[in-house]
A and B are shown apart, each in its own frame.
Chain A
Amino acid sequence: MVPLLLGRCATLAPCPGELLPVVEIQVNNSASSHDDYGKTISGTPLRARITNPLGPGGVQNFPGGVGVEVRNPAPTGSLRFANTAFEAGALAMFRTLPADGGWNNFFVRGTATNTVDKSAIVELVTANTCDEVVLARKAMMIPPDEPPITGGNPLVEVEINNTPATLDDYVAWSPMRSRVRWSNGAPNTVMTVSLRNMPGTDHLRFAGSALAGGATATETTLSLTLNGNGTWTTFHVAGNFSSPSAMDKDAVLEVRQVNPANVVLLSREGLMVRIRKNANTLSAAERDRYLQALKKAGMTYVEYIDFVRTHSRMSMGVYDDLAHRQAHAGSGFLPWHRAFVLHLERVLQAADPSVALHYWKFDSNAPNVFTQQFMGANSAGPFVLLALSNPIKFWLLPGEGVPVGIQRRTPYGTGHPDLPTDVATLAMGTPIFQYLFFREEMEGETHNPAHALSGFDDDGNAGSWIAGSPALATRDPLFFFLHSNVDRLWAKWQWLHNRSLPTHVFTYDLQGSHDAPAPGVPSPDYVEGGIFILVNRTLGQYADDTMWPWDNVTGGVFMSTAQRPDIAILKPFPIVLTGSLPLLKPTVRSMIDYAATNAAQPSVGLDFGYDDFNPFQ
Chain B
Amino acid sequence: MNMRMIVVSLLLTLPAMLHAQSPSKEALGREVDEYRQTVHAAAVTFLNRQLPAAERIRAIEPHKVLYDEQQVEQFKSVVQDAREPAEVRAAALDRLVRHVPGDPRLNQLVVQWLTDPREPLPLRRAALRATGILQFSSGRAPEFLQKLLDDPLPQFRVFAFTRLIIHGDPRAQEKLIRGLEDPGQESVPAPTAIAILSMAPKKEFYPAVFKVLRQTHDDATRLEAIRAIGPYAEARPTLIAISRDANENESFRETALGALYAGDRDNIVSYVEPILASGNAPPGLQAAGIQMTIDIRQAMAFRIRRKRADSYDRLVARLAREAGDPDLRGVARQYLDSVRPPL
B241 at the interface (CB under 8 A from A): no
Q: Which residues of B contact A460 (CB under 8 A)?
A: 154-155, 157-159, 188, 192
Answer whether A402 and B299 are a contact pair too, CB < 8 Å, given A312-B139, A424-B65, A471-B139.
no
**Beta-carbon nearest neighbor of B193 in chain A:** A462
CB interface residues, A 460-484, toward B, < 8 Å:
460-463, 465, 467-472
Answer whether A468 and B155 are a contact pair too, CB < 8 Å, given A403-B230, A430-B67, A462-B196.
no
Q: Which of B73-81, B103-111, B178-186, B287-295 contacts A (4 or more CB under 8 A)?
A: B287-295
Q: How far is the CA of A444 from the CA of B95 in the complex (A)?
A: 11
Q: How far is the CA of A449 from the CA of B65 in the complex (A)?
A: 12
A516 at the interface (CB under 8 A from B): no
What is the minimal beta-carbon distance from B8 to any residue of chain A, in angstroms?
7
Report the interface size for chain B: residues with CB under 8 A from the other chain.
Answer: 89
**Beta-carbon nearest neighbor of B121 in chain A:** A458
Q: Which residues of B contact A228 (CB under 8 A)?
A: none
Which of B155, B261, B331 is close to A404, meaning CB atoms less than 8 Å apart? B261
Q: Are A617 and B25 in contact (CB under 8 A)?
A: yes
B236 at the interface (CB under 8 A from A): no
Q: Are A472 and B13 in contact (CB under 8 A)?
A: no
Q: Which of A181-189, A201-209, A314-322 contacts B (4 or more CB under 8 A)?
A: A314-322
Beyond A382-B224, A403-B258, 9 additional contacts (C-beta under 8 Å) are A299-B295, A300-B296, A404-B227, A407-B195, A423-B28, A427-B35, A448-B134, A470-B139, A495-B25
The 3 closest A-B pairs by CB, nearest first: A75-B337, A444-B98, A463-B162
Q: List 20 A-B contacts (CB under 8 A).
A: A75-B338, A129-B300, A129-B305, A132-B300, A296-B298, A301-B299, A328-B137, A329-B137, A383-B227, A394-B258, A394-B288, A401-B231, A405-B227, A419-B64, A427-B35, A444-B137, A460-B192, A498-B17, A504-B13, A506-B13
Which of B13, B135, B158, B301 is close to A452, meaning CB atoms less than 8 Å apart? B135
Tell me the B residues contacting A by CB distance below 8 Å.
1-2, 4-5, 8-10, 12-13, 16-17, 19, 22, 24-25, 28-29, 31-32, 35-36, 39, 63-65, 67, 97-98, 125, 128-129, 132-137, 139-140, 154-155, 157-159, 162, 166-168, 188, 191-192, 195-196, 198-201, 203, 220, 223-224, 227-228, 230-231, 258-259, 261-262, 265, 284, 287-288, 291-292, 295-296, 298-301, 304-305, 327, 331, 334, 337-338, 340
Q: Are A469 and B139 in contact (CB under 8 A)?
A: yes
A393 at the interface (CB under 8 A from B): yes
Which of B32, B199, B228, B230 is close to A472, meaning CB atoms less than 8 Å apart? B199
| Interface range, A side | 35 or more
Q: Are B166 and A388 in contact (CB under 8 A)?
A: no
A556 at the interface (CB under 8 A from B): no
Binary contact track A368-401/B, C-beta < 8 Å → 1, others 0: 0000000000000111000010000110101001
Answer whether A504 and B125 are a contact pair too, CB < 8 Å, given A381-B191, A427-B36.
no
Q: How far is the CA of A462 from the CA of B192 in the complex (A)?
A: 6
**Beta-carbon nearest neighbor of B290 in chain A:** A388
Q: How far is the CA of A131 from the CA of B299 in the complex (A)?
A: 8
Q: How far is the CA of A617 from the CA of B24 in the complex (A)?
A: 8
Q: Are B5 and A449 in contact (CB under 8 A)?
A: no
Q: Are B155 and A458 in contact (CB under 8 A)?
A: yes
Q: Which residues of B contact A498 (CB under 8 A)?
A: 13, 16-17, 19
Which of B24, B159, B198, B201 is close to A316, meaning CB atoms less than 8 Å apart? B201
CB interface residues, A 319-356, toward B, < 8 Å:
319, 321, 324, 328-329
Q: How far is the CA of A342 from the CA of B167 in the complex (A)?
A: 29
Q: Which residues of B contact A418 (CB under 8 A)?
A: 64
Q: How far is the CA of A468 from the CA of B191 in the complex (A)?
A: 18
Answer whether A496 and B133 are a contact pair too, CB < 8 Å, given A301-B299, A398-B265, A520-B5.
no
Q: Are B199 and A463 in contact (CB under 8 A)?
A: yes
A426 at the interface (CB under 8 A from B): yes
What is the minimal beta-carbon distance from A578 to any residue of chain B, in angstroms?
25
Q: Are A458 and B125 in contact (CB under 8 A)?
A: yes
CB interface residues, A 263-280, toward B, < 8 Å:
none
Q: Are B195 and A505 in contact (CB under 8 A)?
A: no
Q: Are A300 and B158 in contact (CB under 8 A)?
A: no
Q: Are A403 and B201 in contact (CB under 8 A)?
A: no
A94 at the interface (CB under 8 A from B): yes
Which of A388, A405, A495 is close to B327, meaning CB atoms less than 8 Å apart? A388
What is the minimal beta-carbon distance from A219 to any residue of chain B, in angstroms?
17
Binary contact track A280-315/B, C-beta < 8 Å → 1, others 0: 000000000000000110011100000000001000
Q: How far is the CA of A308 from the CA of B13 in the complex (A)?
A: 39
Q: Are A403 and B198 in contact (CB under 8 A)?
A: yes
Q: Which residues of B contact A67 (CB under 8 A)?
A: 304
What is the minimal beta-carbon distance from A135 to any residue of chain B, in angstroms?
12
Q: Which of A120-128, A139-147, A251-259 contacts B (4 or more CB under 8 A)?
A: A120-128
**Beta-carbon nearest neighbor of B229 in chain A:** A403
Q: Which residues of B contact A125 (CB under 8 A)?
A: 300
**Beta-carbon nearest neighbor of B95 in chain A:** A445
Which of B9, B298, B331, B334 is close to A300, meaning CB atoms less than 8 Å apart? B298
Q: How far is the CA of A12 from the CA of B304 in the complex (A)?
A: 21
A528 at the interface (CB under 8 A from B): no
Q: Are B137 and A404 in contact (CB under 8 A)?
A: no
Q: How far is the CA of A116 from the CA of B221 in the complex (A)?
A: 55
